[in-house]
Amino acid sequence: MVQQRGSADALIDVAQKKRYSYSTMKAEVDRAARGLLSMGIEKGDRVGIWSTNNAEWLISMLAIWSIGGILVNINPSYKTQELEYVLKQSGVKLLITVPGHRTSDYLKMLREIAHQLFSADSVNDPSEVPELQSIFVIGNQKDLEGKLPGSLKSFDALLEMGDALAEHKLEERMTRLQFDEPINIQYTSGTTGFPKGVTLSHHNLLNNSWAAAQAMGLDENTRFCVPMPFYHCGGMVSSAMAALSVGGATIIPSPFYDEEAVLQALSSEKCTHLSGVPTMFIGELEHPEFEKFDLSNLKGGFMAGAPCPVQLMRKVADKMHMNDVVILYGLTEASPLITATTISDSLELRATTVGKIIPALELKLIDAITGEIVPRGVQGELCTRGHGVMLGYWNNPNATAECIDSARWLHSGDLAVMNEDGYVNITGRKKDMIIRGGENIYPREIEEVMHGHPDVVQAQVFGIPDEKLGEDIAMWIMIKPGSETKCECIKEWLRERVAYFKVPKHIRIVKEFPMTVTGKIQKFVMRKNMIAELGLDEAAQIQTA
């Protein structure tokens, strides 16, 4: 790619005003790789990145892989306890980080658990993360000089170490690498509890990023704006790696998500593609100065990470000029892509399905009780097998066995329906299904109906315990600014559109939903809050068969 695209834009960090061609990025990656070698990083050693989006993130990613290290993606929103768990569980040897993120002081948190690296006086004081030996901090070297405590060094210092190491050392290491070896650990985003380390290979990630690029129709003229966090598959694999796989450019609009920064980057960098979860697109469309930004070069991209309302898909195509926007569906355990719509599909199909299985993967829908394959048009749990399926959860064989069976089928936990033409609709989560007095209720169905309400921006439906019915329905909604609609009015509106037993008993109007940094809604947090508010702790303890 460097020989073909040497002088072309490869990576642009708008906030840092850094621009790399394919040639200059390759040189920087090699410097970082040699720096890691000089720090004693061996093949299979874990190197963590705990940072917001920046050019150094992607350069470090490629450098770690160049020497056979295993990149550990660390959520930038983690607090001390979560950070300690991930560092300890994965055995990170070297960490690349930034000084902080919003109100989080990263160095302060690291001092609490890796104090031996911050002060010589702590050398005999047992560390919470004994395998962590080195920390490098991203930032302007002049600003960091003299301010980093203990043995901490700047990222620029790592590059300078690479300058001092002979080039053939890197070449020798690269000859020892294999395509099916682990290179990445991504921790699940925590919508269902404690995170698990999804372990992925070169083979997993390269096939998946290429499939994403083909679904979106990317080519060497692509200028891909990536506001999704790199620590997550959506930002790293389906966006940045997809653009790199075809010789396109990756544009980083800001360190963390900011609607105005995204719109500004789309305009100033003449971006052709954009990725995001539905909440991101909603934020961009509702920006008060949306109309002033020139989005005329924008033509495509993808939505993923959460169910996409049909009306939002059409609005994005119309108002943001993204006529080629596609839907990607997957999960981290699948690297992440399983199905995709493509630019050759009609807007109707792209707005109402998650597409077909991507090339060289297998897919089946099975009955949740019998495990047998269900007919077309019948709901079942989606399972996949092939190049995308993870190697397993890092150091967690029991959890791996729970989701990957003996025939290497990955059980997604998602409920879906496939039509006669092979297009898939995600209808809900096995765990999200509400059983109210014997009636099976799927939250997605009610949420889709609510998106047709003129005053509702978003709706989230979930089950709460009920002593008589087993479960009842609760719904949180966000309404449009200035709307005076009331919960009882919402119920009346719904009664005209769904069966009586699908109308939520409890409705709350909220300003925002609890969610992960990648925009995934955390229904378990809503459920916990409602149980506490309604005094349902006793009902929640009732066990069922």
pLDDT at 191 over 80: no
Q: Where in the chain do CATH 3.40.50.980 domains reside?
A: 21-177
In the predicted model, what is the mean pLDDT of residues 464-490? 91
Query: Residue 358: which H helix or E strand, with range?
Result: none
Query: Sorting pLDDT into bands at 50, 70 and 90, what band is 125?
Result: low
Each residue of 497-545: pLDDT tens digit?
Answer: 887 889 999 999 999 999 876 677 889 899 999 999 999 887 666 533 2
308-336: average pLDDT: 93
Q: pLDDT class for 124, splitting at 50, 70, 90?
A: low
Question: Mean pLDDT throughout 224-248?
Answer: 97
Please name the helix (run of DSSP H) or strand (run of DSSP E) that holds residue 16, with its range, or none: none
| Helices of type H across 67-154 | 80-90, 106-113, 141-144
- CB within 8 Å of 523: residues ≥ 6 apart: 191, 432, 460, 462
Average pLDDT estimate for 38-57: 98
| CB neighbourhood size of 501 (10 A) | 14
Tokens standing for 500? Answer: 């009586």
Instruction: Kindly tell me if the per-residue pLDDT of 268 is higher than 70.
Output: yes
pLDDT over 60 at 192, yes or no: no
Report the range of poorest mean pLDDT among 23-37, 249-263, 450-464: 450-464
Identify the residue with better confidence: 267 or 81.
267
Residue 363: is its pLDDT beyond 50?
yes
The third-level CATH classification (topology) of the domain covering 435-540 is GMP Synthetase; Chain A, domain 3 (3.30.300)
Q: In what order do the strands lie in the sheet with 506-509?
A: 456-466, 470-479, 506-509
Res 1 pLDDT > 70: no
Token pair recorded at residue 101: 């993120």
Q: Of 20-34, 59-73, 77-91, 405-419, which gets the smallest average pLDDT?
A: 77-91
Q: What angle do CA 388, 392, 398 make, to 5 degrees?
A: 140
Share of the chain above pLDDT 90, in %: 77
DSSP string, 363-411: EEEE-TTT-PBPPTTS-EEEEEEETTS-SEETT-HHHHHHHB-TT--EE
- Interhelix angle 55-66/167-174, rounded to 10 degrees, is 70
Residues of the chain with CATH 3.30.300.30: 435-540
Query: Tell me: the pLDDT tens digits for 330-348?
Result: 999 999 999 999 999 999 8
> Torsion-angle region of residue 392: left (phi > 0), alpha (psi -120 to 50) or beta?
left
**How far apart (Å, rounded) are the C-alpha atoms in residues 301 and 343?**
10
Least confident residue range of 20-34, 197-211, 300-314: 300-314
Does residue 60 surpass a pLDDT of 60?
yes
The CATH code of domain 197-370+386-429 reads 3.40.50.12780
CA angle, residues 92, 207, 333, in degrees to nearest 5? 50
DSSP of 38-90, one letter per residue? HTTPPTT-EEEEE--S-HHHHHHHHHHHHTT-EEEEE-TT--HHHHHHHHHHH
Beta-strand ranges (E) seen in 113-259 are: 134-137, 153-154, 182-187, 197-201, 223-225, 249-252
193 has pLDDT over 70: no
Instruction: Report the pLDDT averaged over residues 117-146.
Output: 84
Q: How far apart are CA 268 and CA 264, in angstroms?
A: 6
For residue 122, count other CB atoms closer than 10 A to its CB.
15
Nearest to 378 by CA among 429, 333, 417, 435: 417
Pair of tokens at residue 452 = 């047709």
Give the residues across from 186 on adjacent strands.
Answer: 73, 198
Fold observed for domain 21-177: Rossmann fold (3.40.50)
CB 12 within 8 Å of CB 252: yes
Could you tell me the end-to-end alpha-carbon distance of the chain, in angstroms, rounded to an integer?
57
Q: How far is CA 306 from CA 54, 295, 303, 473, in A?
A: 24, 24, 8, 20
Q: Which of 396-405, 443-452, 516-525 has the lowest mean pLDDT?
A: 516-525
* DSSP 8-state class, residue 511: S
Of the CA atoms within 13 Å of residue 357, those in its CB half-sphere come to: 21
State residue 285 phi and psi, 5-degree precision.
-65, -30
Q: What is the mean predicted confidence (pLDDT) over 393-411?
A: 96
What phi, psi does 372 have (nearest 5°)? -85, 150
